[in-house]
Amino acid sequence: MTQKELLYLEDAYNHEQNIIEVLNYSTEIIENEDLEDFLENEIRTHENMKNNIKKKLEECKNE
């Protein structure tokens, strides 16, 4: 994997982290239970994406 591709993955990881932070904040201020459930599902989705990116970054750094 090229250095440019690694930097892209690091950016993607940081974007996922930012999305998770915004979603977490949103769940704290939302009063609609259905919307809160939706946001919590989105948090799990983005946490999975972030973990997949982290795993790939670790694999590449160990090569």
What was the pLDDT predicted at 41? 98
DSSP 1: -
Neighbours of 16 (CB within 10 A): 20
Give the predicted TM-score (pTM) of the model.
0.89
User: Which alpha helices (DSSP H) does 1-63 contain, by range?
Assistant: 3-29, 33-61
Q: How many domains are there within the chain?
A: 1
> Which percentage of the chain shows pLDDT scores above 90?
87
- Domain limits at 52? 3-61
